[in-house]
Amino acid sequence: EGQTLWGGRFSAKPAEVMQAINVSIGVDHRLWEQDLKGSRAHCRMLMAQGIVSADDGAAILDGLDRIEAEIRDGTFPFRDEFEDIHMNVEARLSELIGAPSGRLHTARSRNDQVATDFRLWVRDACDRTLAQLHALQRILLDRAEAHAGDLMPGFTHLQPAQPVTLGHHLMAYVEMFGRDHGRFADARARMNESPLGAAALAGSPFPIDRHATAAELGFDRPMANSLDAVSDRDFALESLSAASICAGHLSRLAEEIVIWMTPQFGFVTLPDELTTGSSIMPQKRNPDAAELVRAKTGRITGSLIALTTVMKGLPLAYSKDMQEDKPPVFEAFDALDLALTAMMAMVAALRPNLERMRQAAGSGYSTATDLADWLVRELNLPFRQAHHVTGAAVKRAEALGVDLGQLPLAELTALEPRVTEAVYKVLSPEASCASRLSFGGTAPDGVRARIAEWRSRLS
Ligand code: ARG
């Protein structure tokens, strides 16, 4: 009762504080599925290599099935005195099947066991995230397609800059989430090697078949250095880094939703289901979901910093510090999962106020660049001079309280005598947008072409 699995050379039980600082089952129970998978692969390999007898192997596999059933129906006893998921499973296996259980850990250490389990977990998490990113991109594509020709202001410094379309703006995020997808896919490809069989740190004297376990677990190959296999967590760091960058993208979109939802902007609304009210101010409709997506970035990036800091300076091979790898990774992927899911719901439900956005697109002298470009194109002014003339025109328009398109021709010819009526047709936000046909620009036809490309990439 209460014997540790490593008690042979010990005569006293761990102090309370030893157990308190050492215990990880409260966190790493989440690795149970990966742990069973790894143990089954290891057991089958031991049987195939004649290291464990067919009878003992069968008993072990049967016991692992029973453990899986117990965990699934909630009757498995997770016990702190067995420290982590690996020893909880092994202790329970011993209770269920007796003596043969002791053979499962042949040619294995918790060091390669946990490295394997954790890789499998992070790989699954990356796969989930990859699917979610594509799902989010599809939702953005649908919304972008519907609004490929609907105007909104483009900003720099959050000041009106040049008109763009809502579709073009949303497609910017499709590109960002596409790169995020690429980062997770790269991380997944690099992490897909098996540590199992590295044993404690030096490999094993038993005739194990690491290629077989690697293949059974869906890894491309076994890791080539046993010390490296049990002691690096770069796969987790790389995934956290991808998660952190992705969270940054989500946060920027969330921030835009927050801004667009202010009555001052009034660009979009979100339905009741995705907003909250105030307990005191009856008029309120708050974009809490967007704010929380924005905030999750803190946790996710914090997790990257936490694990980077844990890993720096650890001598090879395994050190117990590395047990602290799981909380940040679990926390980050939980947060990212929720943030992506909430963002999908918001993007799908956003109700743009197209009239308001169109009006805003034309205000703030947003077509000033078009005027300057016209002066260059039609009158062959050097751009710097055109910039100056246009600046003066904006100043006049501001003084008269009109948009550039309403500035009387006499005002323009006073600044540059060769200006003609023809200039007015470039001064509308529609014309401005439609003229930006350079590759990657906001012209609706270009945006539609990019949407079609992404659709075929995602199908
Ligand atoms: N719970 C440990 C972890 O997560 C498992 C590996 C323990 N290895 C050891 N040599 N104490 O890292």
For a mutational test of ligand 1's pocket, the pick from 19, 30, 114, i.e. the residue with the most ligand atoms closer than 8 A to its C-beta, is 114
Contact 100, 56 (CB under 8 A): yes
Alpha carbon of 157 to ligand 1 centroid (Å): 50
Compute the distance between CA of residue 194 and CA of residue 222 in angstroms, rounded to an integer: 4
- Residue from 110, 316, 321 whose mutation best tests the ligand 1 pocket (most atoms within 8 A of CB): 110
CB 412 within 8 A of CB 381: no
**Hey, whose CA ends up nearest to atom 12 of ligand 1?**
323
Is-above-0.90 flag for pTM? yes
How many Å lie between the centroid of ligand 1 and the Cα of residue 331?
A: 19
Asked if 153 and 361 touch (Cβ cutoff 8 Å), the reply is yes
List pocket residues of ligand 1, CB cut-off 6 Å: 24, 28, 84, 110-111, 114, 318, 320, 322-323
CB neighbours of residue 309 within 10 Å: 12
Helix (H, G, I), strand (E, B) or coil at 268: strand
Q: How far is the CA of 114 from the centre of ligand 1 (A)?
A: 7
Determine which residue's CA is closest to atom 4 belonging to ligand 1.
323
200 CA: nearest ligand 1 atom: 10
Distances (CA, A) of 34 to 26, 30, 122, 328, 430: 16, 9, 10, 18, 56
**Do 266 and 299 meet the contact criterion of CB atoms below 8 Å apart?**
no
Q: Which of 78, 320, 324, 330 to mutate to test the pocket of ligand 1 (most atoms within 8 A of CB)?
A: 320
pLDDT in tens, the chain (459 residues): 456 777 888 999 899 999 999 999 999 999 999 999 999 999 999 999 999 999 999 999 999 999 999 999 999 999 999 999 999 999 999 999 999 999 999 999 999 999 999 999 999 999 999 999 999 999 999 999 999 999 999 999 999 999 999 999 999 999 999 999 999 999 999 999 999 999 999 999 999 999 999 999 999 999 999 999 999 999 999 999 999 999 999 999 999 999 999 999 999 999 999 999 988 888 888 999 999 999 999 999 999 999 999 999 999 999 999 999 999 999 999 999 999 999 999 999 999 999 999 999 999 999 999 999 999 999 999 999 999 999 999 999 999 999 999 999 999 999 999 999 999 999 999 999 999 999 999 999 999 999 999 999 999
Tokens standing for residue 21:
């600082």
Distance CA 56, CA 43 (A): 9
pLDDT digits (tens, 9 = 90+) for 325-352: 999 999 999 999 999 999 999 999 999 9
Q: What is the mean pLDDT of the chain?
A: 96
Rounded to 10 degrees, the C-alpha dihedral 66/67/73/74 comes to: 150
Q: Which of 360, 385, 386, 373 is nearest to 427 (CA)?
A: 373
To 10 degrees, what angle do helices 444-458 and 110-146 make?
A: 140
In our burial notation (b when 16+ CB lie closer than 10 A, e otherwise), range 253-269 reads bbebbbbbbeeebebbb
Centre of ligand 1 from the C-alpha of residue 35, in Å: 13
**Distance (Å, whole) CA 265 – CA 356:** 8
268 forms beta bridges with 352
Q: Which atom of ligand 1 is nearest to the CA of 24?
A: 1
Among protein residues, the one with the nearest Cα to ligand 1's atom 11 is 320
Give the C-alpha separation, 269 to 285, whole Å: 9
**Single-letter amino acid code for the residue at 33:** E
- DSSP letters, 144-190, are HHHTTT-EEEEEETTEEEEEEEHHHHHHHHHHHHHHHHHHHHHHHHH
Total Cβ atoms within 10 A of residue 351: 10
Q: Of residues 42, 147, 181, 278, which has the active-site annotation?
A: 278
Per-residue pLDDT tens digits for 77-115: 999 999 999 999 999 999 999 999 999 999 999 999 999
Predicted local confidence at residue 281, as pLDDT: 87
Q: Residue of the nearest CA to atom 10 in ligand 1?
A: 111
Distances (CA, A) of 266 to 145, 207, 290: 22, 69, 16
Burial degree of 361 (CB within 10 A; 0-12, 13-18, 19+): buried
Q: How far apart are CA 271 and CA 254, in angstroms?
A: 15
Residue 278 annotated in active site: yes
Centroid of ligand 1 to alpha carbon of 127 (angstroms): 25
Give yes or no for a contact between 129 and 340, defined as CB atoms under 8 angstroms apart.
yes
Instruction: Please tell me the residue having the least CA distance from ligand 1 atom 2.
Output: 323
Given the CA of residue 118, which atom of ligand 1 is nearest to it? 4
Determine how many CB atoms are found less than 10 A away from the CB of residue 456: 7
Name the token pair of 367: 């077509």
Which residue's CA lies nearest to atom 7 of ligand 1?
Answer: 110
Interface predicted TM-score of the whole assembly (ipTM), two decimals:
0.97
Reference 336, options 297, 282, 373; nearest CA is 297
Question: From the candidates 157, 279, 456, 459, which is the catalytic residue?
Answer: 157
The SS3 assignment for 53 reads coil
Sign of the Cα torsion 203, 209, 212, 213 reads negative
Pocket test for ligand 1, best of 27, 34, 39, 111 (most atoms within 8 A of CB): 111
Ligand 1 center–CA 233 separation, angstroms: 13
Sign of CA dihedral 153, 154, 160, 161: negative
C-alpha 200 to ligand 1 mean position (Å): 10
CA distances from 56 to 40, 52, 61, 97 (A): 13, 7, 9, 10
**Distance between CA atoms of residues 439 and 150, nearest Å:** 19
Q: 88 CA distance to ligand 1 centroid (A)? A: 13
Nearest to 85 by CA among 123, 134, 137, 36: 36
| Neighbour count for residue 328 (Cβ, 10 Å) | 23
Q: Which of 189, 65, 72 is nearest to 122 (CA)?
A: 189
- Which two three-digit tokens encode residue 240? 């956290």
